Amino acid sequence: MRLSAVLRERLWTKFKAFIKKNSTLRVLAVLLFIVPMFFIIYGSASPQYIWLHVDEVATKDVVAETNVVIVDHAQTAELRQQAADAVQKIYKQDQEALRLAQDNVSMFFAQLIEIGDKNAATEGEGETGAEGEGTELSEAEQAELRANQLRQYEALLEQMAAKAYSPLIDAGPLAYWLLYCSVQELELMEAESLRLMDAIMDKAITEEALDTIYGEVSRQVELLNYSAEAKEIVNMSVASAVQPNLVYDDIATQEAIQEAIAAVQPVQKTVKAGEIIVRSGDRVTAEQISVLEQVGLQRSGGSSMFVAAGILLLLLLLLWLTRTYIKRNHAEIYERLLKLLLIVLVALIVLVISHLLDMIQVSDVVQINSMTGYLAPIAAGSMLIAVLLNPRLAYFITMMLAILVGLMANSDQLSFVLVAFIGGSVGIYYTSNIRQTSDMAKSAVYIALANVLTIIALLLLKGGITLNVLLTGILMGASNGLLSAILMIGALPYLEAGFGVISMIRMLELCNPNQALLKRLMIEAPGTYHHSVMVGNLAEATAEVIGANPMLARLGSYYHDIGKVRRPEYFVENQQGMMNNPHENIAPALSALILTSHVKEGAEMAREARLPETVIDFIRSHHGTSLISYFYNIAVNEDGDGNVNESSFRYEGPRPRSKEAALVMLADSVEAAVRSLPDPTMEKIDAMVYRIIMGKLNDGQLDECNLTFRDLDMIRGSFCKVLAGIYHKRIEYPDQIKLEVKAE
């Protein structure tokens, strides 16, 4: 019994450890979203599909639920084929064609001359003996030489004729004629052939036109005042060498064909709501199947199992895209599991409400009843993500939610996607820079207006609009805006509290000077309060420059020093008018302990006041692990033995982990340092700001935040600009004006 209890305890411990793993929690978050969404979409999509086949007899009427513009694919394909067939082939100029043809002519005649010269040289060698004495060739040997020459001529002529117009010519007579042809005659024929080639190739010649060109060459040769054999040689040389100077450009032709096809607009026709697409008892045609598929009533070749697989695959794909986007562009959100769960919960709530609203039956008219999909309050989820997390992320999530709304819709899916996305985007735009609570209510008006205009535009595009349909669309769009704002305002406080995030509205509330801690700081430590306001001005102005959250930077600045309320007199900004500095009467180590304690005490006060954890992070990290160098140096000088522990004079940290926290640290140090300058000038301010930023950087205080060197340079410039406006040099009044002012 005891062994089983121990075993159960170990298993329970392992199970709890497994559940607490980030990877396990991420999988659970995915399942929390996918499982309900799968059944919602499957329940919405599956019943509407029918499964008809060509030549099947319909057992009932199939009626269109909404006005849908469809494409007549058969007629469109026929028109596109006609356009493609009408495109003529495109050719490009071959700049090398003439030169190659001339080279071939010259090579032909060079070979003829070479054959004659070689045999002549052979005869000459035969007439001279080894010792230079002439030797007559016998008649048999001379006959053999001429026969060899004739064979070479015949082979060359047959080879050239095969390239051109007559591969079956009788080359014997021409070879015999060439046997007694002089080099000068061949050179004249070559010149005439080149002249003819220039004239022929001056025209546009394609591969298809070569037969015509051969005839033209023959006609031109017949006009020459040559013997029949010479004409035949010239004709052969030109006809065998001529080639197309226009080459077929397949790529350009195919591009022209594609352009012609693309220029043919799809043949469209409108299927009206209530129109019978397939009548009961009729044989189903391929055209009717195409219409059913386009209006969304049939998925050919599918089954409920395929529909389920398709829905699941699409959900996984959308989740993968969302994960990839958040991981690459919002790593700080991806690493926080609670923020991912917040996104999942917001999306799930909005989509479930959208599904329930889409199920409402408002009329017996199909077209009007299908418009309930316009009530989907996607804008509520968009605004919540924008206010609680990030406006850029909200645009992406809005796109994903709009796609899911389209999948859930029973009809007219594209229209619902467009209205959801446009309304959500408008909501993000008008809530991303909220400055007061009433701005959230105003967003309802803008969302409603965007929805109404989008719905009207879509109805006009579809055609067949009636007054009842128009009024219903306007009512749905306006109701969507109001519902989205109500859901957003109602859910915001609970999501803030439940997930530990802080919205712009909450920031505005906490920045109000009437907040208990700020009011106490103002009364009990006015110098610190003024310092915090100045730090807030510096941090907010600079946050905009480096892409940080300005309002969050100001909020952190206001609360970073609230711990000084416990002992305000020990901090220099509150010692105005005091006769003695309390630190003069205590040891440096105790002074350092008092200074560092304001961080821990400030965090405790913030927790007691139930401030968000984000604000507490500013309090804990605004000094990081910096060294209190003033009292440390005093302690070192007083000790003299080197026994001073440096860690006793450092803040506990942690170091800043965000741009906003790093800004507060730098602004805090810069404001205090510049205020201590006896005669602040631009040069002194710039030097001081640079020294402080580099000091924090070299001390490692900025190692854990994602600031770049470019960010630090922009921070320096922004700080100097703001401080120059505060500490600008006053204009000296003339004496007369001084007297008048004094008299007054």
The candidate with the shortest Cα–Cα distance to 446, out of 407, 485, 406, is 485
Whether 193 has a pLDDT exceeding 70, the answer reads yes
pLDDT score, position 11: 62
Residues paired with 411 in a beta bridge: none
Residue type, 696: K
3-state secondary structure 182-212: CHHHHHHHHHHHHHHHHHHHCCCCCHHHHHH
Q: Looking at the predicted structure, is the pLDDT value of residue 704 above 70?
A: yes
pLDDT of residue 741: 38
Tell me the per-residue pLDDT of 343-393, one tens digit each, with 9 for 90 and over: 888 998 998 888 888 777 666 555 666 777 788 899 999 999 998 888 899
Residue 690: predicted pLDDT: 93
Please check the confidence at residue 572 and state whether its pLDDT lies above 90. Answer: no
Q: Count Cα neighbours of 179 within 13 Å in the Cβ-side half-sphere.
A: 18
Pairing type for strands 268-271 and 62-63 reads unpaired
pLDDT band at 73 (very low <50, low <70, confident <90, very high): confident
Helix extents (H) in 164-275: 171-179, 183-201, 210-222, 228-241, 250-263
- Whole-angstrom Cα distance, residue 571 to residue 580? 12
Q: pLDDT tens-digit profile of 385-444? A: 998 888 899 999 999 999 988 888 766 678 888 999 999 999 998 887 676 667 777 888
Percent of the chain with pLDDT over 90: 18
Which residue has 């109500």 as its token pair? 486
Amino acid symbol at 96: E
pLDDT at 743 over 50: no
Q: How confident is the model at residue 61 (pLDDT cuts 50, 70, 90)?
A: confident
pLDDT in tens, 116-161: 776 555 555 544 443 444 456 677 777 777 788 788 887 888 777 7
pLDDT for 1 equals 47
User: Is it the case that residue 12 has pLDDT exceeding 60?
Assistant: no
Q: Which of 36-40, 298-302, 504-508 has the lowest mean pLDDT?
A: 298-302
Model pTM?
0.57
Minimum mean pLDDT among 97-101, 694-698, 731-735: which range?
A: 731-735
pLDDT at 337: 82
How high does pLDDT run on average in the chain? Answer: 80
User: What pLDDT sits at residue 405?
Assistant: 87
Query: pLDDT, tens digit, for every residue of 530-567?
Result: 999 999 999 999 998 898 888 899 999 999 999 999 88
Helix, strand or coil for residue 519?
A: helix
Query: What is the enclosing helix (H) or strand (E) of 585?
Result: none
pLDDT at 736 over 60: no
HSE-CB of 96 using CA atoms within 13 angstroms: 2
Tokens of 699: 């001390």
Whether the Cβ atoms of residue 422 and residue 455 lie closer than 8 Å to each other: no
Number of H helices, E strands in the chain: 31, 6
Backbone phi, then psi, for 486, in 5-degree steps?
-65, -45
Give the per-residue pLDDT at 709.
Answer: 92
Q: Is the pLDDT of residue 15 over 90?
A: no
Is 737 or 124 the better-scoring residue by pLDDT? 124
Residue 66 pLDDT: 65
Instruction: Say whether 612 sits in a helix, a strand or coil.
Output: coil
Q: What is the pLDDT of residue 556?
A: 93
Look at residues 245, 94, 104 and name the one whose alpha carbon lies nearest to residue 163: 104
Band (pLDDT 50/70/90 cuts) for residue 89 is confident
Given a cut of 60, is residue 166 above it in pLDDT? no
**Does pLDDT of 264 surpass 70?**
yes
Residue 315 C-alpha from the chain's centroid: 21
508 closest CA partner among 603, 438, 446, 443: 438
Q: How far is CA 11 from the centre of its chain?
A: 47
Model pLDDT, residue 372: 79
**Angle of CA points 647, 653, 657, to nearest 5°:** 140
Cα angle 565, 568, 573 (rounded to 5 degrees) comes to: 120
Residue 523 in this model has a pLDDT that exceeds 80: yes
Amino acid identity for residue 502 in this structure? I
Judged against a pLDDT cut of 60, whether residue 167 lies above it is answered with no
- Residue 547 burial (C-beta neighbours within 10 Å; 0-12, 13-18, 19+): exposed
pLDDT at 86 over 90: no
For the chain, the farthest-separated pair of C-alpha atoms sits apart, in whole angstroms, at 147
What pairs with residue 91 in β-bridges? 248
For residue 712, pLDDT beyond 90? yes
Q: What is the pLDDT of residues 195-250, one digit of tens each?
A: 888 888 888 887 777 778 888 888 888 888 888 888 888 888 888 888 887 777 78
pLDDT at 740: 43
Checking if the pLDDT of 162 tops 80, the result is no
